[in-house]
Structure 1
């Protein structure tokens, strides 16, 4: 039975993207002598398949030109505490990854060129890191984290309509409970209730809301496999009420990685993660500003070079920019800052 649509007026859903931290630009020094500590980085990427930007599908010409400039001139990364560890990277596209909901972890695995860990293990380590850190923070910070999770996955449906046309509520149904949930829904249908309304009622009554740290951890562990403990149920709403119920009958839906997951992944590996977003002409930005870097810093000391992930969108809201792809960062030799395309 898949997705249940209500009789509401059809509305084009916007991609919901939470705000990432703003880039804190640093003033470059007159010249930057790069100690070539990059041998290990370069060696680890030479056998990884990369694609020239001219071969990457779905890019507009202004995006392509800007990305090719970043590749040819390089991007200067400065270690926040130790400027002597600055490195210039040339960024190449690391290839397509499956759009199965696991793309953050699949792309991160490829971007790190990690052969000893797969995407599901990265997902598990991300959640484990989140729970460990959540247990160490004070009550005030824990409530701030819970508020952010509620905003993303259990939004207040009385507000926010000036920004979003469609808002989603995420619920978790235990796989072992699906038969009982179906029976309860069928009972309401037999009493004359429309099926989508019956499904909404039963799922909200008996399933777990993703509304705090512990429920987020259970949600983020879901990779869309038969081994998952829970299935994801998605209720979509417009300002007029319920729009659809995605029951995820086959249990293939995976939890998309969000900003919280990216920060936890960065902390787990003591590395900054930069999400490189490329927006098209319909985002009303000029070529110089069509690509920007969104940093996610670890809550720990930075011990390794950064990881770069790529999002390509055709509009300001992302229009497809909920899909991560890997960037392969090859370190360059000694260079002065005047020659680089961007300083992070």
Structure 2
């Protein structure tokens, strides 16, 4: 699960994924050219790849089937810079690739779906489990954040505060409910409960007492170091912290999710996706599909949100899928894997989309 803006142009301009901490290396990448004629060719019919995927409206399914049938063209960064790198009449540059996208199957909605889906979507991640991908994501973030300038760090801190410690005096024109994330050390649970009990003895309501103690004694997720602690949480007993979530409406406190069993995991966000892209030196495209109640027509119900590494690109991209029935996902903050089949069948002039 994650936090992605639903307007593609806004997402690139405003989301944390657009906060680059280092300029991409303009040097030629180490990506090995691929001869598409030797690539695996998908032999299944174009509809079969999406016919059995649950939770899709007809217009979403038709559009995804068209993308699968015609393919999407990914241009290598070197080809983008040199205008294609070919003379008129040449075939598509070998460094660029056409992909047919099929659904990679369901993954558990346990908060680890970004990392589970990424592991399935990346051929280079064989033998690496979701927990290890989470660890590598956090490690990459800490290394890059540590080398960032003061101005860059503040921009990232601002983005993190906006997502996890929002200003509860504003934002209600967009959100009905806003969440504040706090980190409670597992071994502090007894003392936290004692503090709550003391306030209850003074006559305070249970949720207000819990809110007061958690805000006073827990760590808010409002900067780079606290984000790294938060994003390390996989819902495992081995986690150092538990996630506590305070939910607010414009009228005040709505609920307190104390997560007493410690099963809640940190949902992957745009920052985590960019860190994954940087760690593996490949672009990640989140493919969002929205339904008819999102007030979009069939041609615009599917769009691709790019997350680029903060370094050279050395491998082809991989793709993640989010499906929803309403604007801003309508709860569709759940990642699923897409399998990208390299294709030599589709001409680059006839592809459904150029990325």
Retained in 2: the 8 A contact 1:36–1:334? no
TM-score (norm 2): 0.85
2:86 maps to 1:77? no
The residue aligned with 1:303 is 314
Give the Å deviation of 1:20: 2.8
Give 5+ residue unaligned stretches, structure 1. 1-14, 25-34
User: Residue 312 of structure 1 contacts residue 320 of structure 1 at CA under 8 Å; is this kept in 2?
Assistant: no
Partners of 1:227 and 1:210 lie apart in 2 by 20
Kindly state the Cα deviation for residue 334 of structure 1 after the two structures are TM-superposed: 5.9
Q: Give the structure 2 partner of residue 172 of structure 1.
A: 183
Q: Residues 16 and 184 from structure 1, CA distance in 2 versus in 1: closer, same or farther, beyond 3 angstroms?
A: same
Alpha-carbon separation, structure 1, partners of 2:311 and 2:96:
18
Structure 2 CA distance for partners of 1:230 and 1:38, relative to 1, 3 Å: farther
> 1: distance between equivalents of 2:37 and 2:224?
40
- Of residues 80, 86, 100, the one that matches 1:90 is 100
2:352 maps to 1:332: no
1:99 and 2:109 correspond: yes
Aligned to 1:3: none
Query: Given the alignment of the two structures, is residue 217 of structure 1 paired with residue 224 of structure 2, yes or no?
Result: no
Q: Does 1:207 align with 2:253?
A: no
Distance (whole Å) between structure 2 residues aligned to residue 226 and residue 200 of structure 1: 24
**Is 2:275 the counterpart of 1:264?**
yes
Is residue 2:118 matched to residue 1:108? yes
1:321 Cα deviation after fit: 1.9
Q: CA deviation at 1:338?
A: 2.4
Contact kept, 8 Å, 2:283 with 2:318, in 1: the verdict is yes
**SS of the residue aligned with 2:311?**
coil
State the Cα RMSD in Å. Answer: 2.1
| Equivalent residue, structure 2, for 1:285 | 296
Shift of 1:80: 1.6
CA shift, 1:337, in A, is 2.4
Corresponding residue to 1:60 among 52, 57, 61 = 57
* Residue correspondences, number: 315
Which whole-Å deviations, capped at 9, do the CAs of 1:87-124 have from their partners, x for residues lacking one? 00000000000000000000000000322200000000
Deviation readout 1:215-238 (Å, 9 max, x if unpaired): 000000000000000000000000
Q: Does the aligned pair in 2 maintain the 1:20–1:259 contact within 8 Å?
A: no
Question: 1:37 is matched with which residue: 35, 38, 42?
Answer: 35
**Whole-Å separation in 1 of the counterparts to 2:52 and 2:199:** 53
Using the TM superposition, give the Cα deviation of residue 256 of structure 1 relative to its aligned residue in structure 2, in angstroms: 0.2
- How far has the Cα of 1:336 moved from its partner? 2.7
2:153 pairs with 1:142: yes
Q: Moved runs in structure 1, 4+ residues, more than 6 A?
A: none
1:21 pairs with 2:12:
yes
> Residue 158 of structure 1 corresponds to which residue in structure 2?
169
Is there any run of 5+ residues in structure 2 with no aligned partner, and where?
A: 19-32, 85-92
Residue 253 of structure 2 is matched in structure 1 by 242
3-state secondary structure, aligned to 1:318: helix
Relative to 1, partners in 2 of residues 1:16 and 1:92: Cα closer, same or farther, differing over 3 Å? closer
